[in-house]
């Protein structure tokens, strides 16, 4: 029993004392980005890189949280990225609204691919240039 208590105490001490490089990845959907962002904010003693889509700005204000160890990277940094992502989201919703999921799949898959491919490319790019101790997706 004492071994377990010591192990848990040691894990807690290590997690709070050492500064880890953490990568948090979110696709920008409200059901996913909000809990991942709250988890990233809880990692106060670590260097956080938060990789997400511009669509995230529609659900939470990422700029309201400022910390020198917190960095936000968007998959698309262009001026019209948020508008483009909102249009893609509307296309998916319109395709699913009046049809069953099986009928809508041929229309949803290409639009979903257009949304996820830039995120995957940015993940590969950042992993090739930086080293992370923890990756949360």
> β-pairing, 21-25 with 70-74?
unpaired
List 70's β-bridge partners, or say none.
48
> β-pairing, 47-52 with 21-25?
parallel
Q: Where are the domains of the chain?
A: 19-136
Local confidence pLDDT in tens for the 137 residues of the chain: 666 666 666 556 655 556 788 899 998 777 788 888 888 888 888 899 999 988 888 888 887 888 888 999 998 888 888 888 888 888 778 777 888 878 888 877 887 888 889 899 999 999 999 999 888 88
pLDDT (0 to 100) of residue 1 = 64
User: What's phi and psi for 25, nearest 5 deg?
Assistant: -120, 130
């Amino acid at each position: 029993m004492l071994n377990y208590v010591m192990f848990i105490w040691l894990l807690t001490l290590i997690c709070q004392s050492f500064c880890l490089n953490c990568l948090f990845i979110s696709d920008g959907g409200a059901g996913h980005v909000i809990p991942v962002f709250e988890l990233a904010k809880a990692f106060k003693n670590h260097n956080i890189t938060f990789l997400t889509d511009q669509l995230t700005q529609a659900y939470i204000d990422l700029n309201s949280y400022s910390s020198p160890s917190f960095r936000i990277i968007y998959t698309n940094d262009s001026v019209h990225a948020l508008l483009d992502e909102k249009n893609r989201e509307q296309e998916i919703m319109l395709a699913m609204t009046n049809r069953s999921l099986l009928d809508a799949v041929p229309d949803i898959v290409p639009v979903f691919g257009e949304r996820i491919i830039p995120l995957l490319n940015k993940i590969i790019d950042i992993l090739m240039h930086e080293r992370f101790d923890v990756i949360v997706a």
